[in-house]
Every structure is written in structure tokens, then in C-alpha cells.
Amino acid sequence: MTVRVLLVDDQPLLRTGFKLILEAESDLAVVGEAGDGATAVELTRSLLPDVVLMDIRMPGVDGIEATRRIVRERAASTGHDPRVLILTTFDLDEYVVEAVRAGASGFLLKDSPPEELVAAIRIVADGDAIVAPSVTRRLLDRFATRLPAVRDSAPPPGLDTLTVREREVLSHVARGLSNAEIAAELVVSETTVKTHVGNVLAKLGLRDRVQAVVYAYETGLAQPGHN
């Protein structure tokens, strides 16, 4: 299956570079480009990409607001389920927390190697793992004191609704581990881990693994600075 990607960045040269990298992959296709958030929302609606590669700082509607609008439309959609992958730099880390709040499925450093960019897009398209675990941990540790609420409406049930194994899986997710890595840690199959993760998200009323990490920090299951 080909992953359809929309490139969103106000720098044409960067978009060109990303496009060259992605189009060299047989399973990735760049279906459109946008230089601002408003255009990104319109193109997401018309081109139906699987993944939106979203810059944060852009003129007019920025990447945070564009992500928020895309996710809001996704929630109301009956079939299209685009995922937003945020591009960030070390000096813009504070914006990533807002991106998570807006509904981004992951984020990647702008200076990441091409193979990491390609892998990240595939991961987000599959909804299987958090992008750049080490960056996830560093950002969440830094901003744990002001993490946003992970819920869109009523608070989900507490940790007491989870089984012991589901809590264990959630703690590993909070460490930024992929399903394969969690399976190796727990000596179970990757399919079993995927089932547990799905149960955790459903029971807690969370949208995806990124929100699960934030939830783990908010509830104290994961602690800043702890592995």
C-alpha cells in the first residue's frame, strides 16, 4: 500500500529536499505541497493524504492551528484519517507540547537523517509507534510540569480500569518503546502487545500513543527523568 504524503513547509527548498527523499521510496508518494497552514488544511481535505508532514512556524495559520483543524475534521470524517507528523528543531521544542495538544501523532527533528524521515512517515501512517522516542522523553521530561490535558471531553476512567499487564505495557509505551521492543521486553508476541495497546487506548479514551504517553505522565505512571 502506498502512503500518500502532503508536505507543508514555508521554505520551498526544504519541501523540494523532502520530496526527493520520499519519492525515492516505492511505497511513499508526495501528493501535494503547501507553504502555510491554511493551504495545508484545504489540501488535506481535497487530496486525502495519509500523512501530513507539518512545519510549525509558518505565515498566517501556523502548524499548530493547522494540525488542530485537520484533527478536528478527522474526528468528524467517516472515512479519511490523516495523521500529522510535526517537524521541529531544538530551539522550538516548546511548540511540540502544543502540537501534541492539537492532535499530532508524532514529531521529528528537521535535521534527522533521510532514513529516519522515511521510517517516521511509515510509523505514523501505521499508527504503530511514537516517532523519535528519545526526543519524546526529553521533551516530556522538560515540559512535564505544564503538559496539556489529553482528553477532548469528559475525563477517561483511571488506571484502575487497566489490568496489571496493560499498565505494564502503558509504562513501556511511555518510555517510547515500539511494539516490537515491548514484545521483546515482556517476552510475548508483537500481536499481543498491539492488542494490549489497543485495549489501553480504548479503556482510557485516548486517541493514540502520543496521548497515552502524556496520560502516563499526568497520572504519575511515568516520571520525568526516569527510564
Q: What domains does the chain contain, in order, with CATH numbers?
A: 3-144 (3.40.50.2300), 151-219 (1.10.10.10)
Which pLDDT does position 142 carry in this prediction?
Answer: 61
Give residue 132's region: left, alpha or beta (phi > 0; psi -120 to 50).
left
Mean of pLDDT values over 43-53: 94
User: CA-to-CA distance for 128 and 105, rounded, in angstroms?
Assistant: 10
pTM of this structure: 0.73
Q: Tens of pLDDT along 194-206?
A: 999 999 999 998 8
Residue (of 31, 46, 35) closest to 9 by Cα position: 35
Q: Tens of pLDDT along 159-198?
A: 889 999 999 999 998 887 888 889 999 999 999 999 999 9
User: CA-to-CA distance for 34 and 84, rounded, in angstroms?
Assistant: 14
Task: Please report, for residues 6, 95, 154, 191, the alpha-carbon distance to residue 197 in angstroms, rounded to integers and kept in the order given.
Answer: 28, 27, 21, 10
